[in-house]
Amino acid sequence: MAELENAESTGKKKKSGAMPLVIALVVLTAIGGGGGWVIGGMLAGKLQPAAEEKAAEAKKEKEGEKKKEGEGLPHISNETTGVVALEPITTNLAYPSESWIRLEVALMFKDKPDVKVSEEVHQDILFYLRTVSLQQIEGPRGFQYLRDDIQERVDQRSQGRVTKVMFRTFVIE
């Protein structure tokens, strides 16, 4: 009671404890934001030259790829090799539809390579891959089943003119 009388007699009220807490939070937020801005500026200065170097390297690689076009398996083969490398096939799987597959294959013909058959086989493989689920091609056994299925489809589409399907790359993302 004595305190209540003293407070009434002096006319002063007690200050609440929330105001100092709010001020402290505002000050700490300003210090954290300023520190982040300073560190971000320092890091951005270091990252920009690295990005320019990567762009220059990518440009050099593209020029190198243009020079190497004559190397490797040709897309349209001549009669001596009998091999046609198809364009890369990139598509999503049936399930889960967020998964993507990239496949590069080459076809070995018995006799003379046929461009029309190669394109038909390319489209047939693309349509087949859109029906495959990730669970069907998991593991070594699933990959073997995929190879067998593609070989069977190529045999049907080419009417026996393609002797072998060679997988060059196989990536699932």
- pLDDT at position 27, please? 94
| Spatial distance between the Cα atoms of 35 and 100, rounded to a whole number of angstroms | 41
Instruction: Return the pLDDT at 102.
Output: 95
Q: Is 22 exposed, middle or buried (0-12, 13-18, 19+ CB in 10 A)?
A: exposed
- Residue ranges, the chain, pLDDT below 70: 1-15, 45-51, 61-79
* Model pLDDT, residue 11: 54
Q: What is the DSSP string of 15-39?
A: PPSHHHHHHHHHHHHHHHHHHHHHH
pLDDT score at 63: 64
Q: Buried b vs exposed e over 148-172: b needs ≥16 C-beta within 10 Å?
A: ebbeebbeebbeebbeebeeeeeee
The one-letter amino acid code at 27 reads V
How confident is the model at residue 48, as a pLDDT? 65
pLDDT value of position 37:
87
pLDDT value of position 165: 93
Residues 6+ apart with CB under 8 A from 94: 130, 131, 132, 133
pLDDT per residue as tens digits for the range 116-165: 999 999 999 999 999 999 999 999 999 999 999 999 999 999 998 999 99
> Which pLDDT belongs to residue 100?
93
Q: Is the pTM of this model over 0.85?
A: no
Distance, first Cα to last Cα, the chain: 75
